[in-house]
Each structure stands twice: as C-alpha cells, then as structure tokens.
Structure 1
C-alpha cells in the first residue's frame, strides 16, 4: 500500500495548487468523454447543481448512484453546465483502497482528487469511515456507490452495503441524500472488451443517460427510536460493533442501517426503471 497521505487531501497542501491542477485536469477529461466523444443526457440536473451551490450552510450532501463502470466517477460529472474545474465544489468520494491506493503515486493523485480510501469488506467501523464522517461534519459533498462494486448487467439494483447508510445515521448533521441513476457507461468502458479486458481508452459515440432524483428525507431521531424498539427481539449473530454515543447497540444499528439502505435502494430502482423506459423510447 502506498500509505494514506491524509496531508495530501488537505485543502492547504501546497496552497491548494496541486488539488486545483488534478481536479481541473480530471474535469477536462470528464467533459471531453461525456460531451465531446459521447452523447450525455441529464434529467433534473438543476437539482444537483442547486444542492452543490446553495444548500443550507453546514448541511452535508451525499449523492448515491449505481456503478456501471470504472469511469462513472469522474465522467458522470462531465455534463454541460457542471462546474468541473471548481476544486472547492468537487465531491469527496469513497474509493477502493486496493485499486486507487496501490502505490505512492496513485495514493497522492487520488488524495489530491478528494478520494477517501475504503477497504472493501472492512466494515463500517474501519479507520477511514471516520474521515468520511469528518468531511460530512464540515458540510461537504460525498459521493458513494452503495452497491460496492461495478456491475454491467441491466439488472435491478443490488442489496446496498451498510456503509453509506451508517454515514447518514452517524453524521452530526443529517445529510441531504440525492439518488442518481445512469446507464450507458458500461458501453463507454466495457469490462469485457478485448480478451476479457477493458479498452485502453474510453469508447466514443455512445449514449449516456443520467437521471438525478429528488432528495430523500430521513428523520433519523425517529428512525433510531424505531430501530431500538424493533430490534429488541432479534437474535442475529453479532459482529461486535460498539454501541453508538446515543445508545444504539449492534442489533439496533443493523436494523437502522438496513431500513435506510432499503429506502435508498427502492428509490434508485424506481429511477433505474425510468431510465430504462427513457432509453427504450429513444432506441
């Protein structure tokens, strides 16, 4: 592993110049792939742009989306009108440690690009989830792929991992949660293109459809009370999670995170059906 370089993720690292260069360069790449080389159509983009620029002070934003290719982030932010070169507005993202943080150079690059290393299968109490919580405490924007891995099949949204749900529940200020569903990136960067490998460059002349949903509201205090009362009878095998500061033991946490994850999955699946019917109308 190339270390986790928290210092490189700081906005003050070398006066912010390396971060601006990386985010500007990656933004230019995203715009080129999304708008020049392919046809990207975004529904309800004004909701995302409004929440980026003018949500209430101190309120964090979590965007969640399906995961169709290794290019989804950053290319899904390359559509017309998106402020790709503004490093202060850019999202923080949870990124797979085994892919994005393999060595020092990659670690430095992804840290400058506002990525937080996550060990897949490492659970919700792994070290860098606290870093994600810190960013939410700062009122920042965080993007996650709650399915946890790329899937290029045209299939229903898989059961979501608990990580995103736990961040929503544990954040000091409940985030605004915005679901986004896309299709077409699996054609821009197919996993099985040449001898079972991805192409060396993104493919061109593909149609990408992005549907931004409406914010999902969570009444976390009420949901916590429900989770405590409904989890008393459960006899699930326990992993050994610590109780939270407000007294949720592990069964209550599991109940709460499952409820949040299922709610997000239902909304994402509705958007996916919508995107499918849209693309069929255009075909």
Structure 2
C-alpha cells in the first residue's frame, strides 16, 4: 500500500494554511468539549506543557495513554492552558486507517490534522511506522494509544502492542516517554449509547480526569544488551519476518519490545490506580 496523502501532512503544503485552519478548528472543538461542555481536571499538567513547549532541541517526545473513546484525541488536549490551536506545537498521532482514512476527504482532513495512518494488524514494520520514525527523527511530538483499541471498562491496562516500543527503540534519539491516564471520555462518547451505537454528538456535563505521569527513562543500549542475552535462552517461536535491527535478530527484538511495553504498561496501571483514589 502506498503512502496515503503524505504530501498533505507536510508543513509547507499550500503555505501551511490548510494545516493551520484544521488545527485551529479541531482545537476550538476540543476546547469547547473539554472546558465548556464538560469539566476537565488535569494533574501534573505543567510536566506535559513544559515538554510540549520547551524540551531540548532535537529531542522527540512520545506521549502514551489508555484509549477510552474515539474522542480521546483531540479532546484530551483541550484543557485550559494547553496550546491546542497551535499547529506547530500540536502532536502527531497514530490513527486507525480503517476509521480515519476511509475516503479521500477524510484522508486529506486527518493528514492536515497531523495524523499518521496505521493498519491494524499490519505489524510494527508496516510502511507508515517509518513515517512515524521520520517525525521522531525531526524531534517532533508523537502520541500513541499502545493498547491498540478503545476500552470503556474500568479494567487494568491491557497488554500493549509492540509498535510504540519499537518506535522508542529505533528512534535515532531516544524519545522522552510521558505516560498519561485519563477517565471520563467513556461518558462523553459512550460506545453503546443508542441501539449499540455512539451518540451523534459529544455528551455534556461529564467529569473528565487526566493524570500526567513523569517521564519514563529508557537506557536503550542497556536494554538491547539484556534482550540479546535473554534471547539466547528462548525456545523457537512463530516468527513475523522482521528485518534485522542492528545486531538484533527477531527473537532479540521481541524480548526488547516486550520489556519496553511491560514497563509502560506498569506505569499506566499505577496512574490508573492513582486516579481511582479519592482526594482527601
């Protein structure tokens, strides 16, 4: 499959005006839903704001969160004080191709909104993952939902897909990885509202809670060495046909991506438990 309208995602497309227009419109919508129609509280917002606005030059940022509704992005960035309408500071995000890129009009719109199409089940080495790596190579901010699909139940964080871990490991400069847990979007956009379908518009007068964690540090060279050692003792398993990654074969890569994913999952689960505790 060829790249889907990648040209529309470039900042110089038509002088950048279409991107700025879409980001402004979507940002205004996010502000209205998060701050006017509903009540949104954010713990540790300054950590996120500082990393979005003033992280070291050339250092990419990956934010990771649970996935509670189709509105999580962009509405989770619509809280008071966040530069939601700034096209230069806005995130790139991995978006499901079968939902956001179903036709040329949607593809163009979501491309302008800094979305990268991802084919579910397409694997961590699918073509557009290279595009995500390009964004990280430029020092950009990328958001991912590593659970891979919406879950509106109050349950522990599910096992994460390995795509985010592979991006962290393969990026030329190791990204800053910031975990975020949110709750309440399942009430704003429930999956089973009327006859098993979502409501036509976001619901209102709901409470949204967002908990921003602290950056997770990954010593990638050390993790690679651990993965190489661990992989030597593993029995053969089904292979996916991954290309070599440096000196790492597919078995070692799998060990590396599992390790990184489990660390992120553990931190997200701690944030989830923290969010359930009532404030004194």
TM-score normalised by the chain length of structure 2: 0.98
Deviation per CA, 1:19-77: give whole Å up to 9, x if none.
Answer: 00000000000000000000000000000000011111100000000000000000000
Partner of 1:13: 13
Match of 1:142, SS state, is strand
CA contact (8 A) 2:3 2:128 kept: no
CA distance in 2, matches of 1:268, 1:182: 10
Match of 1:58, SS state, is coil
Deviation per CA, 1:50-108: give whole Å up to 9, x if none.
Answer: 00111111000000000000000000000000001110000000000000000000000
CA contact (8 A) 2:24 2:85 kept: yes
Match of 2:42, SS state, is strand
Residue 2 (structure 1) shift:
11
Corresponding pairs, count: 279
CA distance in 1, matches of 2:275, 2:104: 39
Residue 237 (structure 1) shift:
2.0
Partner of 1:157: 157
CA distance in 1, matches of 2:175, 2:100: 26
Partner of 1:141: 141
Match of 1:202, SS state, is coil
Residue 162 (structure 1) shift:
0.1
Runs of 4+ in 1 over 2 A off after TM superposition: none
Residue 4 (structure 1) shift:
0.5
Match of 2:277, SS state, is helix
CA contact (8 A) 1:24 1:86 kept: yes
Structure 1 residues 28 and 239, CA gap change in structure 2 (3 angstroms): same
CA contact (8 A) 1:168 1:174 kept: yes
Gaps spanning 5+ residues in structure 1: where?
A: none
CA distance in 2, matches of 1:247, 1:116: 29
CA distance in 1, matches of 2:218, 2:2: 37
Structure 1 residues 106 and 205, CA gap change in structure 2 (3 angstroms): same
Structure 1 residues 224 and 144, CA gap change in structure 2 (3 angstroms): same
Structure 1 residues 222 and 9, CA gap change in structure 2 (3 angstroms): same
Partner of 1:242: 243
CA distance in 2, matches of 1:4, 1:129: 13
CA-atom RMSD in angstroms: 1.2
Residue 3 (structure 1) shift:
6.6
Gaps spanning 5+ residues in structure 2: where?
A: none
The aligned runs of 1:223-262 (5 Å cut-off) are 223-235=223-235, 236-244=237-245, 246-262=246-262
Residue 167 (structure 1) shift:
0.2
CA distance in 2, matches of 1:104, 1:239: 31
CA contact (8 A) 1:2 1:107 kept: no
TM-score normalised by the chain length of structure 1: 0.97
CA contact (8 A) 2:23 2:113 kept: yes
The aligned runs of 1:37-76 (5 Å cut-off) are 37-76=37-76
Partner of 1:177: 177
